[in-house]
Structure 1
Amino acid sequence: MRILGIDPGLRTTGFGVVDVVGADVRYVASGTIGTQHLDTRALPERLKVLFDGIGEVVQRYQPTCASVEIVFVNVNPQSTLLLGQARGALITALVTAGLPVAEYTALQMKQAVAGHGRAHKDQIQEMVKRLLNLPGLPGPDAADALGLAITHAHAGKALARLTAADGVGGNGKVSYRAGRQH
């Protein structure tokens, strides 16, 4: 299984790709898609850059599924709305490419990667580095995206066991397109 993790952002979106081989989770690639070079008022253009950028990542790395961070409500409702639009463009790109999409909160990712939900960005970077045996720290956005891919690698195995055990699976927190589970 090859998982694409995405940390949505309107200015900077992180992506991380991992392979799951048996019990091992192996690093494939990571990086960011940036829109900061565009006029801050040019929302449609920013959304297109994100949509096209994720499309290029999917085409290049051929993931079998994706995991995306669920947006929480910020203090600033305008920022939350803009982030939601960015997230929507990213998910639309994934679904257009035919990928099943799982969604996790930042808390779930932090718990899966660092063992507690209050982990700071630098702790996530360090744990991702250790878990994937990276030579250096990934950037904060790429580390969060890799963390989401790692989270799905572990949750996907648990969901597969649940599905095999009771024929149902899923708990409402992770969504899959077209009923496919990975």
Structure 2
Amino acid sequence: MRTIRILGIDPGLRITGFGVIEKTGNKLAYLASGCIKTDAKASLPTRLGAIHAGLCELVAQYRPDQAVVEIVFVNVNPQSTLLLGQARGAAITALVAGGLEVAEYTALQVKQAVVGNGHADKTQVQHMVRRLLSLPGDPNPDAADALACAIAHAHGGQGLGQGPGALATKGFRVRNGRLI
């Protein structure tokens, strides 16, 4: 059986969560997780550079086969949405620079795949990630979200040979090779 290493990213300007898992057959194994934190007092370019550099280091260290990033939705505050989008862009460019194709999922899709409820709260996500990966305790919320992205991808996401049909059974639809 082929082992596939997946890097999940929960982008944020202040805190970017990451999680690395391996999938062998139907078995998932935890490798690493954590957060890349930026200094709120630093300039925006410096903060974006820190996210990019941190993810480039992770890609070099863990050598994932696939990467997945959570899709950002528009918030009430347009300025916050813009900043979050820029952090997400820094993350994606680091992954692409590392030679990875990047899958993208909404928070609703990730929660549905991991918890079974697209409107689950962070505590529920943490608990299910802990159970699915047999962790000794709940991971940090940002790391849990990143691990949940990787788990959702492993359980029928793009590029794992399971195809769109596997996602349809979970209520997901695929158009042009992307989840909708």
Q: Is the pair's TM-score, using the shorter chain for normalization, greater than 0.5?
A: yes
Please, which runs of 5 or more residues in structure 2 have no aligned partner?
A: 166-173
Contact in 2 for aligned 1:5/1:149 (Cα 8 Å): yes
- What do residues 1-37 of structure 1 show as CA deviations (whole Å, max 9, x unaligned)? 10000000000000000000000111010000000x3
Aligned CA distance change for structure 1 residues 163 and 118 (closer, same or farther; 3 Å): closer
CA contact (8 A) 1:129 1:135 kept: yes
Runs of 4+ in 1 over 4 A off after TM superposition: none
Within 5 Å, give how 1:152-171 maps onto structure 2: 152-156=153-157, 160-162=161-163, 171=175
- Name the CA distance, whole Å, in 2 between partners of 1:130 and 1:89: 31
Partner of residue 28, structure 1 = 31
What one-letter code is carried by the residue in structure 2 that aligns with 1:21? T
Structure 1 pair 159–17 and aligned structure 2 pair: CA distance change class (3 A):
closer
1:174 is displaced (CA, Å) by 3.0
Structure 2: how far apart are the matches of 1:150 and 1:20? 9
Distance 2:12 2:158 in 1: 28
Instruction: Find the partner of 2:11 among 8, 12, 31.
Output: 8
Number of corresponding residues:
169
Tell me the distance in 2 between the aligned counterparts of 1:121 and 1:144.
8
Q: Which amino acid aligns with 1:3?
A: I
Q: How far, CA to CA, are the matches of 2:74 and 2:159 in structure 1?
A: 28
1:96-107 map, 5 Å: 96-107=97-108
Aligned-pair Cα RMSD in Å? 2.0
Q: Which SS does the other structure have where 1:134 is aligned?
A: coil
Q: Any conservation in 1 of the 2:103–2:158 contact (CA below 8 Å)?
A: no
- Does the 8 A contact of 1:16 with 1:29 survive in 2? yes
Corresponding residue of 2:110:
109
Counterpart CA distance in 1 for 2:25 and 2:127 is 23
TM-score (norm. length: structure 1): 0.87
In terms of fraction of residues, the more helix-rich structure is 1
1:39 is aligned to 41
The one-character-per-residue Cα deviations of 1:118-150 (angstroms, maximum 9, x if unpaired) are 100000000000000000110000000000000
* Counterparts of 1:46 and 1:7, CA distance in 2: 16
CA distance in 2, matches of 1:86, 1:157: 23
Give deviations 1:33-65, integer Å, cap 9, x for gaps.
000x3415x100000000000001111111011
Distance apart, 1:154 and its partner CA: 1.1
